[in-house]
Amino acid sequence: MRLLLAAPRLLASPAAAPLCHGPRLPPTAPCRGASRRWGSSFNVPPSAEFVARPVGICSMLRLPVRASAEGLDAAFVGVPLDTGTSNRPGARFGPRQIRAESAMVRRHNASTGAAPFDSLLVADVGDVNVNLYNLPASCRLIREAFQKIVASGCVPLTLGGDHTITYPILQAMAEKHGPVGLVHVDAHTDTGDRALGEKIYHGTPFRRCVDEGLLDCSRVVQIGIRGSSYAPDPYKYCREQGFRVVLAEDCWFKSLVPLMAEVRQQLGAKPVYISFDIDGLDPAYAPGTGTPEIAGLTPSQALEIIRGCKGLNIVGCDLVEVAPMYDVSGNTALLGANLLFEMLCVLPGVKTM
């Protein structure tokens, strides 16, 4: 698998020990870089009570970095590609910034009781080594990398990158699971056919997936859709395929818990993929993205959507379109990091405290 690691792995050898020394480090805790922490048989993010947040390599949730997904239950993987963007570029830097902001995310989900790091073996497996000058070649590299991840039995949680990346990821998913259901949160349906003569870019991934039979179209739900359009009925194609399209205006000022109860019933027990474009949220909360649209979802609604997926047979997830340079506060990437943590918390096999 062609993976470019985010940084060299830290050593748990005596030579590395001085980097961990400090008055608050418990004597029983192994040095940073060790894969077991504080009595768990799984990988656990270090607590800022004992290890300062800026300490260590820049991995997702400060988890160990692995060279492959073999032996893991779930893995964070970056796809730093933005060659498919149609407006503002910069999502290639999304994975790096999401990892940096993820240092704020802690071990347990106090709201839901989920304890993912006491349930699953999770690590960061680095980035797919994409070709920034050739989008079809990048799609091939992504597909090949995810074929290996999926074949290992590991559930990938992907840090994008623009939304083009979901197309080759779903190619790998369908190869193992057959056509999958989809929970797609976005401002846009991403079902265009072509632009500037090209059939692959971030506005076409789900059209290409339908073309290739990668989706179980009766189990596709798109939430948060909005914005101006080139056609009087921009959602006609989606509805013709059998997608359920939930417009942002139908979500305004309400809880989405009832909606997600209907979604769970619709998607059933078959494999489901979650694809979350950060521009599904209102740019007041997530300005760091390439194609922002006003009047979007709120962060609390995003949590309701993801938490509402608990109990589904989730086989993979992605969080895409974070472009950090348009949000100097880092809040968009911080939001992305938290949403990825929430996705981890609803994976099959995650226990509650």
Could you tell me which residues are annotated as the binding site for Mn(2+)? 163, 186, 188, 190, 277, 279
What region, left, alpha or beta, does residue 10 occupy, with left being phi > 0 and alpha being psi -120 to 50 degrees? beta
What region, left, alpha or beta, does residue 43 occupy, with left being phi > 0 and alpha being psi -120 to 50 degrees? beta
Peptide bond into 161 cis (omega under 30): yes
Residue 297 CB coordination number (10 Å): 25
Instruction: List strands edge to edge, sheet with 215-225.
Output: 3-4, 122-128, 74-79, 155-160, 313-320, 271-277, 180-185, 215-225, 244-247
What is the residue whose two structure tokens read 């779930």? 74
3-state class of 286 per DSSP?
A: coil
CA 294/CA 279 separation, integer angstroms: 9
What is the residue whose two structure tokens read 């796809």? 79
Residues in binding site: 163, 186, 188, 190, 277, 279
